[in-house]
């Protein structure tokens, strides 16, 4: 298909894909659920990759959490093959986890996707859009999780590539319409039991109605601005942690001397390495009190781990 034959939305998607790639991305693997965003991404890759001599394929994960999920996965694979992508369906088992079913499904999905990408030596592409970015920023704001959470998702991070973070969900749907693709709408994406769904269906529309159009774009722009700051602070915190940590324990005197922005990051990274999960600001504050407001109090229980102070250092489980 000649580039001039592409519709406006499909061209926008293809241009976003092309702009995100580097010469090191010699093989591309699209993670596809069958939804509009990932189908549009697959179509963009199918247009861009052959023109640059890149290998390209797709993988569909079947979580097995809904009746008929296997057929949904097979249908997505057939659609992808119609676009010219070799498609592999991978079934995963979603184990119960402390973070809840949504987190467990995400962990299982990413583990499977990374395994396929590593086996093929391919860059793994995900279909997150600007709307997903805006939702992530609002959720981070509601949790009070700080600059890292508000910085949202990066286009390229941790071996993942998200070319469509500057593209709206409306554009991906329009792309599918232009190409005659019928995306699958995951029922979970309409279930108000999930906070992200409530943000999408209720919160963002109210914000746009009251503040005017362009809220998702502004939130995504905020994420971009904060990400550079968060990256710098995280790097400085990693250096600081090396200075205050010995044998897995943190020296409280050294921690207390750190600026608050670095101290909380050191604590958060340390707690996560110990196995803590679903941490929010009050969890970190409780541990920080062992450093700054020490009066002999007992250990702090967090999701997944207990930490305490002995002999002037913070220790995890022994």
User: For the residues of 43-69, what is the DSSP string, one character each?
Assistant: HHHHHHHHHHT-EEEEEEEE---STTH
Write down the pLDDT at residue 10.
Answer: 97
SS3 letters across 76-87: HHHHHHHCCCEE
Q: Are 15 and 41 contacting, i.e. CB atoms less than 8 angstroms apart?
A: no
Q: Give the pLDDT confidence of 227-266 residue by residue, as tens digits.
A: 989 999 999 999 999 999 999 999 999 999 999 999 999 9
- Spans of all domains in the chain: 3-211, 247-315
Q: Give the pLDDT confidence of 101-139 residue by residue, as tens digits.
A: 677 888 889 999 999 999 999 999 999 999 999 999 999
| Residue 278 assigned ligand-binding role | no
Q: Which residues of the chain have pLDDT under 70?
A: 1-4, 96-101, 145, 318
> Measured between alpha carbons, how far is 205 from 142 in angstroms, rounded to an integer?
17
- Beta strands 156-157 and 160-161 are antiparallel
Write down the pLDDT at residue 93.
Answer: 83
Write down the pLDDT at residue 70.
Answer: 92
Write down the pLDDT at residue 206.
Answer: 96
The fold of 3-211 is: Rossmann fold (3.40.50)
* Nearest Cα to Cα of residue 139 among 121, 152, 158: 152
pTM: 0.85
Find the helix or strand (DSSP H, E) in which 91 lies.
Answer: strand 86-91
Write down the pLDDT at residue 80.
Answer: 97
| Residue 52 assigned ligand-binding role | no
| Residue 33 assigned ligand-binding role | yes
Write down the pLDDT at residue 1.
Answer: 42
DSSP codes joined into one string, 154-188: -SEETTEE-TTTTS-HHHHHHHHHHHT------GG
**Domain 247-315, CATH 1.25.40.10 — does that match?**
no
DSSP codes joined into one string, 185-211: --GGGG-TTSHHHHIIIIIHHHHHHHH
> Measured between alpha carbons, how far is 102 from 196 in angstroms, rounded to an integer?
11
**Sheet containing 86-91, strands listed edge to edge, beginning at the edge strand earlier in sequence:** 86-91, 55-62, 27-31, 123-125, 160-161, 156-157
| Residue 273 assigned ligand-binding role | no
| Residue 37 assigned ligand-binding role | yes
């Amino acid at each position: 298909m000649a580039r001039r034959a592409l519709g406006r939305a499909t061209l926008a998607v293809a241009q976003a894909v092309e702009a995100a790639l580097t010469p090191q991305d010699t093989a591309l693997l699209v993670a596809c659920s069958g939804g509009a965003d990932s189908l549009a991404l697959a179509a963009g890759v199918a247009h861009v990759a052959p023109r640059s001599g890149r290998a390209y394929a797709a993988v569909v994960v079947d979580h097995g959490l809904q009746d008929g999920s296997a057929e949904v996965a097979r249908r997505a694979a057939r659609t992808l093959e119609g676009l010219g992508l070799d498609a592999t369906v991978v079934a995963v088992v979603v184990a119960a986890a402390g973070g809840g079913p949504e987190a467990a499904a995400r962990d299982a999905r990413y583990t499977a996707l990374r395994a396929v990408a590593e086996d093929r030596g391919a860059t793994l592409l995900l279909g997150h859009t600007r709307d997903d970015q805006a939702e992530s920023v609002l959720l981070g704001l509601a949790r009070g999780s700080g600059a890292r959470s508000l910085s949202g998702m990066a286009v390229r991070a941790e071996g993942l590539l998200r070319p469509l973070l500057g593209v709206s969900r409306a554009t991906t749907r329009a792309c599918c319409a232009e190409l005659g693709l019928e995306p699958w709408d995951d029922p979970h994406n309409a279930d108000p039991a999930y906070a992200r769904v409530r943000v999408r269906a209720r919160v963002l529309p109210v914000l746009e109605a009251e503040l005017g159009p362009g809220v998702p774009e502004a939130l995504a722009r905020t994420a971009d601005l904060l990400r550079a700051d968060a990256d710098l602070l995280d790097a400085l915190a990693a250096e600081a942690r090396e200075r205050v940590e010995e044998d897995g324990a943190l020296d409280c005197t050294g921690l207390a001397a750190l600026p608050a922005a670095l101290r909380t990051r050191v604590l958060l990274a340390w707690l996560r390495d110990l196995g803590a999960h679903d941490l929010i600001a009050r969890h970190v504050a409780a541990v920080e009190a062992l450093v700054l407001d020490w009066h002999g109090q007992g250990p702090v229980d967090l999701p997944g781990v207990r930490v305490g102070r002995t002999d002037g250092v913070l220790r995890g489980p022994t």
